[in-house]
Amino acid sequence: MNLLVVGTVAYDSVKTPFGEEASVLGGSATYFSVAASYFTEVGVLAVVGEDFKREDLATFEKHHIDTSGLETALGGTTFHWEGEYGYDLNDPKTLKTDLNVLAEFNPRLPEACRDVPYLFLANIDPRVQLQVLDQVKAPHLVAADTMNYWIEGNREDLLKVLRRIDILTINESEARLLAQEFNLVKAARRIISWGPRTVIIKRGEYGVLEISENSIFAMPAYPLDSVRDPTGAGDSFAGGFMGFLANGHGLEPPQSVRQAILAGSVMASLNVQDFSLRRLSALTQDDIRERHRAFQQLTVVESLD
């Protein structure tokens, strides 16, 4: 295993202007691991309840995802999120959150996971993220995600996490909230001063902004004529991004990070074209290569010379 993700495996109930689905497979670790599986060997550390369906476990098996860290809590019910999107797909409205087994999640890494070289801490309680960091031995690269709930409710532990990671992925409103700075470049610079080497700001339909101490890079979002469900887009991006880096790459040279951002953007753009993991889980390498080529053409400008 090259890459481990710690996060949620969930059931989502989602309504968008283009359709509605109830209790379908979701969760940060699910989207991340499936996206990453197209690039590298990946494992999941998460918890589900006894209601977790055999056919949903088969999704992980189909992609050869290591589930030795997927715990089933006896007598428990899987984490459930219900949300609704309007035509502004960047702004979901949470209708209901049932933490269920996630409320008592106490991650225990299998021995085989402790030597993992690449680690992604998905959007979960910073205290859980710290528990995982205390159990891994010497990862080559650690990235993390967070959200406004933890920024406002558990900032102290979140800052402890930031001191121990290499990359933070975060959306633009959360970056401003965390840094208490409106300008995104200044916000990222302040976050970098707290620990991470690189901050990747997810901007939805406006793409991605990557800022490190000595460089700034922007990647547009792919213009799609059909977006059905944006749930999991950020996690699919992170999975493609980290999967690419874990497949023999790293943070150096800077071009590797930019290629990883392209890989993540490709996976996010494919994921949003259907509900749950229907599109993401059914991809072929040809699908990925075709979208990759189309993405590259977005930013090619011929010289006037």
Nearest CA to 265 out of 227, 237, 224, 293 is that of 237
Q: Whose structure tokens read 């006037």?
A: 304
Q: C-alpha angle with apex 279: 51 to 267, nearest 5 degrees?
A: 110
CA distance 59 to 208: 28
pLDDT at 81: 94
Q: For the whole model, what pTM was predicted?
A: 0.94
Of the candidates 36, 13, 16, the one whose C-alpha atom is nearest the C-alpha of residue 25 is: 13
Strands 19-26 and 10-16: antiparallel
> Within 10 Å of residue 134's Cβ, how many Cβ atoms?
9
What is the pLDDT at residue 73?
95
Contact between 35 and 235 under an 8 Å Cβ cutoff? The reply is yes
| Block mean pLDDT (10 aa), the chain, length 305 | 96 93 96 98 97 96 96 95 86 88 91 93 95 94 94 95 97 95 96 96 92 91 90 96 88 82 96 95 96 88 71
Compute CA distances 73 → 46, 126, 264, whole Å. 10, 21, 32
Q: What is the pLDDT of residue 250?
A: 67
